[in-house]
């Protein structure tokens, strides 16, 4: 018998009120079987529907009652036929009694497994619980639920309840029935292992059913060292981890069809041959790894590689505390772990709870140094965030996120909106349109179920893969089907929400309408003549909007400003900004140096203004300020003081701190620092 084998009974409500959502139930139940065929092929599953006109179950024959409940599939090992069963659920005509269905499901599990696989027997109830259940022959409905819950605990069963409720309006009587049924289902969680989930949309229903059981395995068991004399026993588990595609193995059909024990697996052997003599095989003892170091390749043997590895002792140590605001959300790396006190250790539970509550009260987080296993080749630094429970039967705990080292951080410099000219910032009308768009497309509106909650949203890529795998198992030549409509609701905007908020979206589009910029079709000299104002500060241009579709890689003499703007706006490599600035500097110096009686000065001024504007947008103030100082010294050394006088008359200034945070020039010093040249003595 498989170690982690599970016995599962699906109890599905097919009453008339569930007909609209049955297609989604068929899909999610099919996915459950498909995943079990990949990951848990020894699991056994049974299917029971209630609300049918017919009755087919053992309890009706043995003791009577339990009408309108049909066992579609007795418990058996999962196979392809089981997928067909859940894909063809009948449509019932009678209001279903979910409590009777639970009894039938328990009866199936008890008869099939007796006292075996305790803790691995599960009932999954899918219903809207909108119909009143029958009164028991003895006692109250609550007494009946308590009795069932106690029997579940005795036989090692657990129950998952998925309660689907749409947004339809209901009369007071229906609301009273729903409230009573919710109360009855909540009793299971008090007496046995149970989980109840309420969903309002078919998309949430797809993720509400746990389609794969992952046995929790501790990452670490040991001490959380506060100091050398104070240690808390903790266990560490994975809280979230990305689920990947199942491993696909190479398969061979060369084995004889009569060989029942053939594995059809392929074994790979690699041979390393000499470059000088391709026929000579190099044995392992004559091979060594090499690492590039400049122009050299440094050979390092396996023994040296093992010796140089860092092998710290297994431990989790507290380094200190810091304000929660000091740890940015974008610092979190990899998966999330959860720290809990050693189960059964009362002192550890109290210590963890006290520490978590103190940290939460003071808005602090802890920084830990972690080595999960003996012989682990790396050290992890991470942040421990308190998780104070609001339930009496769940202890306090911590969430742990790995933090990056300096080598792991990627710096991307972006200009701040506050440092840009007013013409490059949204106006009041644009801001209001954006606010309305965000408000109207809220995924968690008041009084409604939040859309796309992570715990209820399945991965559409994996869902599609498993569906195609099942299809190929029956039809080997089947083509890849189009994306299912239910998965489109996850990957694409909701058409209903989009149409409902069309006016808001159209208003946003009007305020941010993109138009072709005709400026690139003229020479920059003509552009300057066309402008009404002579001050360059009023001549700001959106570099991103005016970028040509042609990717500029070099500067031309005809329209250097346009070439510069196109190059500095390229985002396919971070090198283009520095190349554009460097090229424009050389262009300006060439224009000034090759000028005859100042004929190139206006064009050099255009280029200098464009360079200044680009350095402000890209937040490179030092590049411009240093170049302005350099060009002043260059003109003094080459007897071109007339260009300095020309710049002074055009009021060219350094980039100030108010325009770019990295600038060292204050607003009041912008003009005084640029010394106007005196007359020749």
Backbone angles phi, psi at 668, to 5 degrees: -70, -15
Environment class of residue 225 by beta-carbon count within 10 Å: exposed (0-12), middle (13-18) or buried (19+)?
middle
Q: Locate tokens 């819950």: which residue? A: 149
What is the sign, positive or negative, of the torsion defined by CA atoms of 595, 598, 599, 604? positive
The answer to whether 35 and 465 are in contact (CB under 8 A) is no
Rounded distance between C-alpha atoms, residue 323 and residue 342, angstroms: 27
Answer CATH for 417-443+457-511 from 1.20.58.110, 1.10.1600.10, 3.40.630.40, 1.10.10.10: 1.10.1600.10
Q: What pLDDT is stored for residue 214 in this prediction?
A: 77
C-alpha separations of 14 from 11, 266, 415 in Å: 10, 47, 58
Q: What pLDDT is stored for residue 662 in this prediction?
A: 81
The answer to whether 165 and 177 are in contact (CB under 8 A) is no
pTM for the full predicted model: 0.67
Rounded distance between C-alpha atoms, residue 9 and residue 69, angstroms: 13
Q: For the sheet with 157-164, list strands across it.
A: 69-77, 44-50, 7-13, 121-127, 157-164, 193-199
Structure tokens at 402: 């790995």
The total of other beta-carbon atoms located within 10 Å of residue 429's CB is: 11
Answer CATH for 218-256+265-412 from 2.40.290.10, 3.30.1330.20, 3.30.420.240, 2.40.50.140: 2.40.290.10
The total of other beta-carbon atoms located within 10 Å of residue 296's CB is: 9
The answer to whether 441 and 497 are in contact (CB under 8 A) is yes
Mean pLDDT of residues grouped by 10 in the chain (681 residues)? 77 93 91 88 93 92 91 93 92 92 93 81 91 86 89 89 82 84 86 83 79 82 93 94 82 79 82 87 88 89 85 92 94 92 93 95 96 89 94 89 91 72 81 90 79 85 87 87 84 84 89 63 40 41 43 72 84 81 88 83 89 87 87 82 82 83 78 47 34
Ordered by start, the domain boundaries in the chain are 2-208, 218-256+265-412, 417-443+457-511, 552-675
Backbone angles phi, psi at 456, to 5 degrees: -120, 10
Environment class of residue 314 by beta-carbon count within 10 Å: exposed (0-12), middle (13-18) or buried (19+)?
middle
Rounded distance between C-alpha atoms, residue 133 and residue 196, angstroms: 18
Q: What pLDDT is stored for residue 2 in this prediction?
A: 54
* CATH fold of the domain at 552-675: 1.25.40
Return the CATH architecture of domain 2-208.
3-Layer(aba) Sandwich (3.40)
Q: What pLDDT is stored for residue 672 in this prediction?
A: 57
Rounded distance between C-alpha atoms, residue 393 and residue 190, angstroms: 9
The answer to whether 642 and 598 are in contact (CB under 8 A) is yes
* Parallel/antiparallel/unpaired status of strands 121-127 and 157-164: parallel
Rounded distance between C-alpha atoms, residue 150 and residue 145, angstroms: 9
């Amino acid at each position: 018998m498989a170690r982690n084998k599970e016995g599962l009974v699906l109890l599905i409500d097919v009453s008339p009120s569930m007909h609209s959502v049955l297609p989604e139930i068929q899909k999610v139940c099919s996915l459950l079987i498909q995943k079990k065929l990949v990951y848990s092929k020894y699991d056994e599953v049974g299917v029971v529907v209630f609300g049918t006109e017919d009755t087919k179950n053992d309890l009706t024959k043995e003791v009577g009652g339990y009408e309108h409940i049909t066992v579609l599939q007795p418990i058996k090992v999962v196979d392809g036929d089981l997928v067909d069963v859940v894909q063809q659920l009948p449509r019932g005509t009678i209001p279903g009694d979910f409590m009777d269905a639970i009894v039938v499901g328990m009866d199936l599990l008890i008869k099939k497994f007796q006292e075996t696989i305790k803790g691995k027997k599960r009932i999954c109830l899918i219903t809207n619980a909108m119909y009143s259940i029958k009164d028991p022959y003895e006692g109250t409905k609550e007494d009946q639920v308590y009795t069932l819950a106690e029997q579940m605990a005795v036989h090692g069963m657990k129950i998952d309840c998925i309660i689907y409720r749409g947004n339809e309006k209901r009369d007071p009587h229906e609301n009273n029935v729903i409230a009573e049924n919710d109360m009855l289902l909540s009793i299971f969680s008090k007496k046995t292992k149970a989980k109840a989930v309420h969903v309002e949309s078919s998309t949430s229903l797809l993720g509400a059913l746990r389609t794969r059981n992952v046995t929790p395995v501790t990452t670490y068991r040991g001490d959380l060292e506060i100091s050398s004399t104070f240690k808390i026993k903790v266990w560490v588990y994975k809280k979230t981890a990305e689920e990947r595609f199942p491993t696909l193995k190479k398969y061979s059909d060369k084995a004889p069809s009569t060989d029942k024990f053939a594995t059809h697996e392929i074994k790979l052997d690699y041979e390393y041959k000499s470059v000088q003599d391709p026929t000579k095989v190099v044995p392992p003892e004559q091979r060594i790894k090499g690492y590039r170091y400049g122009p050299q390749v440094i050979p390092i043997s396996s023994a040296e590689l093992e010796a140089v590895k860092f092998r710290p002792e297994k431990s989790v140590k507290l380094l200190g505390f810091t304000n929660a605001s000091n740890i940015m959300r974008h610092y979190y790396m990899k998966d999330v772990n959860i720290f809990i006190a050693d189960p059964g250790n009362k002192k550890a539970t109290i210590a963890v709870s006290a520490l978590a509550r103190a940290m939460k009260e003071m808005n602090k987080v802890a920084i830990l140094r972690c080595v999960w296993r003996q012989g682990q080749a790396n050290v992890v630094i991470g942040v421990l965030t308190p998780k104070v429970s609001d339930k009496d039967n769940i202890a306090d705990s911590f969430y742990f996120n790995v933090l990056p080292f300096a080598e792991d951080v990627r710096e991307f410099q972006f200009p701040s909106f506050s440092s840009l000219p007013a013409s490059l910032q949204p106006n009041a009308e644009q801001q209001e349109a954006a606010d309305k768009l965000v408000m109207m497309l809220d995924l968690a509106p008041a009084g409604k179920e939040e859309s796309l909650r992570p715990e209820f949203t399945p991965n559409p890529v994996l869902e599609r893969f498993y569906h195609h795998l099942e299809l190929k198992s029956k039809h080997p030549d089947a083509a890849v089907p189009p994306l299912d409509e239910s998965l489109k609701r996850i990957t694409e905007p909701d058409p209903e929400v989009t149409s409902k908020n069309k006016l808001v979206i159209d208003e946003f589009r009007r305020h941010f309408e993109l138009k072709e910029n005709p400026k690139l079709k003229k020479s920059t000299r003509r552009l300057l003549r066309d402008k009404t104002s002579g001050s360059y500060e009023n001549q700001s241009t959106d570099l991103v909007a005016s970028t040509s579709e042609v990717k500029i890689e070099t500067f031309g003499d005809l329209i250097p400003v346009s070439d510069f703007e196109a190059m500095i706006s390229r985002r396919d490599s971070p090198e283009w900004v520095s190349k554009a600035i460097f090229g424009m500097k050389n262009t300006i110096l060439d224009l000034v140096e090759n000028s005859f009686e100042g004929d190139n000065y206006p064009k050099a001024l255009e280029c200098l203004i464009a360079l200044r504007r680009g350095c402000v947008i890209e937040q490179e103030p030092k590049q411009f300020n240093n170049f302005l100082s350099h060009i002043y010294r260059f003109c003094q050394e080459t007897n071109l003081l007339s260009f300095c006088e020309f710049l002074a008359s055009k009021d060219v200034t350094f980039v100030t701190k108010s325009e770019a945070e990295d600038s060292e020039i204050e607003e009041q010093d912008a003009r005084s620092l640029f010394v106007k040249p005196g007359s020749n003595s």
